[in-house]
Each structure stands twice: as C-alpha cells, then as structure tokens.
Structure 1
C-alpha cells in the first residue's frame, strides 16, 4: 500500500482517539468584606477556604472558572489558593485573573440616593474594587485573553438598558463582573471559553434594571461567538424555568450550543419554594433559601455543537458522602463539570503531497 493510500485508509477508519477535557465552573464563595482579607484567610487555612479547595480537588477538572473570588493586583490570593490544591495533588500551573467591574468606582451616584462611592454606585455591585471577581485555573496552557469587560452597555445592539441620563450612559459598562474570551490550548487546538458572571435579575424596582442587565450580559455572546470550538461558561444567575429573570437571550444561545443538562446525585427535600418549581431539581446548582427563591439552576457550561460530550454532572453528593460537608461549607453554589472531546483536526487538503 502506498503512502497516499495508507493515509486515506487512516482517515476513513474513524476519528482519532482523544482524551476528554474536563472543564468546570463554580462560585466557591471566596469573597470577603474587604481587600486582603481573602489572602489572610487562605494563609490561615480558614475552614471555608479549605472546603472550597477540597471540592475542586474532588472534581479534578483540567480547567475551572471560579466566579466568586476576590481579585488583587498581584494575584497573590489566587496563587495561594492554587497552592493549597497543589499540596493535595492537583496542580494548576496556569492561571488567569483580571480586575473585574465589581466594586470598580464610577464616580457617579448610580442608585440616586444622594451618596457616592457606595457598592451600588460601582460598575458592578461591590464594596471594594475586585470583590467577587473571576479567575481561571488550568492544567493546560492558556492563550491570550480577549477581555470585553470595558464595553459600554449602551453599545450592545438591541440592548434593554433602561432610560438613564447621558452622564450614566457614557460610563456604564455592560459586564457586572467580566466577559472573557479565554483560549485553552489543547492537543487538538484551542478551546475558547466564553466566560462571564452576571448580575442577579433581582434587587431592583419596577424599572427591572438588573433583570435587563442580566439578559443583556447573556445576549452579548450572541454578537461575539467565535468561528472556533467554544464553550459558554459561568454563573449566568438565571434559571430558564423557575425564579425571576428574562431567559430569552439564554435560550437563543442554545441555537449555537448544546446543553448537556448536568445533573446532581442528590437533591434536598422539595419543600418551601422548591415545591413550587417546575424544573427537574437534579439540574439545580444554587442552594438558596427556601423562604426566598429556593434552589435554582444558575451555573452553566454550554459547549459548541461541534464538540463531543463524554459526561457531565453537578457535584452535589448525598449527606452520607464524606464530601457533602465540604460542599455545604464552601458555598451556596454547586460545582458543574462537563467532559468535552475536541473535534478532529481537518484532513489534509486534497492533492497535497504526502511525505
């Protein structure tokens, strides 16, 4: 058999073998009431911090987006938290974080209460710059990140921004936390993580400012989807079936992506607000107050349709599982993971010389 025939036989035999890549997203509750306090607690091996590290080690992701971790300019808190997991056998040599919009001052009285420099007057709610930001930890190399977080809300085509004065419109960013296009460099080429953490669609008045912003934070990606393998990932802060919010943009994103419907192994008794919910409780990722919204699905990984899905899940072990205590102690969110298979590289061009 000649070289050309042998190559053709290999192509026709089926896809090349590929190991799944486990990506995850989680709000680990690593936010504090002032700058520097998270680093203090990591160094002191605070029980909540240790619980968060234990959960991630148990999930063993190749890449994880953290949607609730305080940012500092030198990245010391993220490095210290990563070191805790390295000590437990899970090394993330590649990290990314950037200053989020949460807590970033605008210099304006956005809530109209006559006072400046409050949490409600920041680009995204926050008591200090960097509170409750985002970060990525990865076992795989990361490529150059495109950070869209400075885009103005008014510039999104078809935006639902409520009427505001020109002074506000000229400074108000769309992202309450951040929007990142972050390449993960796999053996089969880059996987683009389209990451964001949206404002909850509540805590406002009849103008529905937060509900409109939550919608538009998802709608942003409808105008910025890459022509490459991607996964939409993050804390969307929206349940498409239960709770408040405008799910239209999230539903339109599913025209371009697949919903693996990750499920948890255990759900609490469906009492209180949960008893009124219509969605499958196994899909819930937020363990919220029964007297309030109840448990909701708010954290998502939505891979592009070209990607294979080898498995998925929500890390919610039953109470008798040794991990259950750490899961409950760390956060009111649950870690979501999906095992992705990158598509085969394109075949060589017809007629190309084989050597």
Structure 2
C-alpha cells in the first residue's frame, strides 16, 4: 500500500504536459496556369490536390499558412479545398485570403520586353490575378487581419529599391499579412509573407533587392504581442544566392527552432557543395541547379517556449512518403508553441 501511495504522490506532483498550438506553413502546389483551373481540379478530385490535403491532415496543424494556392474573388477554390481537407479528417473551418499582388496588372512594361500585360509586368509575377497566392486555414477563430499588401516599396525605410523601379511599385510580390489567431491564451499574430525568389533578374538585382526588403518589412512592423514569422521568404540563409541580412536581423526578435525532416536525399550534385544542414531543407530543386534549399520558415518570437518542431519529409517507403512527393516540391514545416508562454508574453 505504501508503494502505491508513493507512486500516486509522484504522479500528482509531476507537472502537467504543456498545451501547445501547432503552427505550420506549406506551399502545397495548388496553383495552375489559368483562372478557375484550380477549382476545376479540386472538384475533380485531382490526385495532387488530394495528396496536399493528406499531407496537411497528417501534420494536423491548428493553423496553417498556404503559400502556393490560387486566389479567386469569391473564395471558391479555398472553400473547396477546405472541404477536401475536412474529408481527409482534419477540418479547419476558419480561413482568410485576400487579393495578392501576384498577377495584378500595372499597365507598365516592368520586365523590359517591349510589351505590357505579361506575367513579369504585374505587381508580383503572375499570369493572372491571384495566381500563386496565399491563404490561412485554422481550427481556431481568426481576428481582424492587417493587410500590408498595398504598401509601396519606396516607403520602406532604408529600402534597396533600384532607381529605375517605378514609384508605384508595391513591395510585396505576393502579400504581407498580420493574422491574429484567437486562442485561450490570447491572440498569436501570424506575420505571413511569400517573397519573390532572389534570382531570375539581371545585374540590377531587382529580385534580390526586393526579396531582401520583403523580409526587412517585418523589422518595422513587429507587434507588441506574441507572434510567429511565417511563410516562404524564398531564401536559404546559408546556401541561397540572395541577401540574408534582413532575415538574420529578424533573429534579434525571433528564434529559429531549426525544424528538421526525418529524411534527406543523397547529397549529390549541388547538394554536396552546400554548407547548411540538409535536414533543415524544405524544398526539392534540381541537383544540377541550386539543389535542395531551406526556404520555408516558422520563427516564433523570443520568449515563446517551443515544445517541438519538424519538417514533414519521410523516407522513401515510409508512411506518407509517396503522398508528400506527389503533393509538392515543398515540405510542410510546423512548430508547437506552449500556450502558457504565450499568455505570459501577452501579460495575461
């Protein structure tokens, strides 16, 4: 009896397991070459769409930022995908999406090809308005979103905007959002963005400069509340070709949990010459070109306690491996945040 009572006392004295909020970001490859085609594919139970839903359901996030999904004015594609996700066993009834800069016409010849109206002439690269946009899906209610997408590049303090860029050029190639997730511990602000790749330009380095400034934007817009820097900055801070200074500066305010996948492909070609930990990579690219890179991030604010983190990248033959590969060349990144630390940081 004494031994039994002693064990009960130990159990009662043990601290309760921390309650966590799982935050994720993922480019699910839900973009198509024309308006309405994504909705068509969702309604047809396209295998790639179903695979993306299965990856998200397996990760079971409380809230997720999708950085590769086409936007339409009535939100039909997002609503249809949310329904598919519910059928996959992970309902996320709350959502936010807004018109992005990708594909938004400017009437200018921004890419210098002598024509207007092309994908490179939009506020952000896109063949049609809303191509390759962003969306948030959540199990929890969302608060009022602050949408910074219309902010002009020239208005960013210390910007690297080339002199030849037009004055009405927007900074966001896709969007910049501050999305509050309403939890019992108070709101958690998702500082969400998806940047232009810092390549595919000329000696003026327009894309490299813009990519840098899209990250630098958050240095001037950090809330006085718990937050997570979340999305696809399109820059590997170790092995990428772009300017990493802004991302590095953000680490004065946020922490890098360094989420890792359980599998890394054989390090051949460009991968063999990289300096970063391959377990941190989040996207598969041509080994003859850039190689695999870490371009998707979830960085909680300093002071928030991280319970766990990871990248959904199973080894070949493991459960979900084929589904992950069929869905997208990107991998889902997640981080679990202790709700008690959120409440403490918010002063509750």
Q: Which residue of 1 aligns with 2:64?
A: 64
Counterparts of 2:46 and 2:323, CA distance in 1 = 12
Q: Which residue of 1 aligns with 2:50?
A: 50
Q: Which residue of 2 aligns with 1:245?
A: 242
Give structure 2 stretches of 5+ with no counterpart. Answer: 1-12
Aligned residues of 1:16 and 1:344 also touching (Cα < 8 A): no
Q: Which residue of 2 aligns with 1:200?
A: 197
Counterparts of 1:341 and 1:281, CA distance in 2 = 27
Q: Deviations over 1:232-270 (max 9, x none)?
A: 000010011113000000000000011000001000000
Counterparts of 1:93 and 1:30, CA distance in 2 = 19
For the residue of structure 2 that corresponds to 1:66, the secondary structure is strand
Structure 1 stretches of 4+ moved >3 Å: 13-18, 344-347
Q: Which residue of 1 aligns with 2:35?
A: 35
Asked if 1:100 is matched to 2:100, the reply is: yes
1:322 Cα deviation after fit:
2.6
Q: Which residue of 2 aligns with 1:313?
A: 310
Asked if 1:122 is matched to 2:119, the reply is: no
**Compared with structure 1, are the counterparts of its residues 47 and 312 closer, same or farther at alpha carbon in structure 2 (3 Å cutoff)?**
same
What CA RMSD, in Å, does the superposition of the two structures yield over aligned residues? 1.7
Counterparts of 1:47 and 1:344, CA distance in 2 = 38
Aligned residues of 1:239 and 1:298 also touching (Cα < 8 A): yes
Aligned residues of 1:15 and 1:344 also touching (Cα < 8 A): no
Counterparts of 1:327 and 1:14, CA distance in 2 = 38
Counterparts of 2:88 and 2:127, CA distance in 1 = 33
Asked if 1:331 is matched to 2:328, the reply is: yes
Q: Deviations over 1:96-143 (max 9, x none)?
A: 000000000011111122101000000000000000000000000000
Give structure 1 stretches of 5+ with no counterpart. Answer: 1-12, 350-355
Counterparts of 1:209 and 1:107, CA distance in 2 = 19
Asked if 1:284 is matched to 2:281, the reply is: yes
1:164 Cα deviation after fit:
1.5
Aligned residues of 2:25 and 2:64 also touching (Cα < 8 A): yes
Superposition TM-score, scaled by structure 2 size: 0.93
Counterparts of 2:72 and 2:261, CA distance in 1 = 33
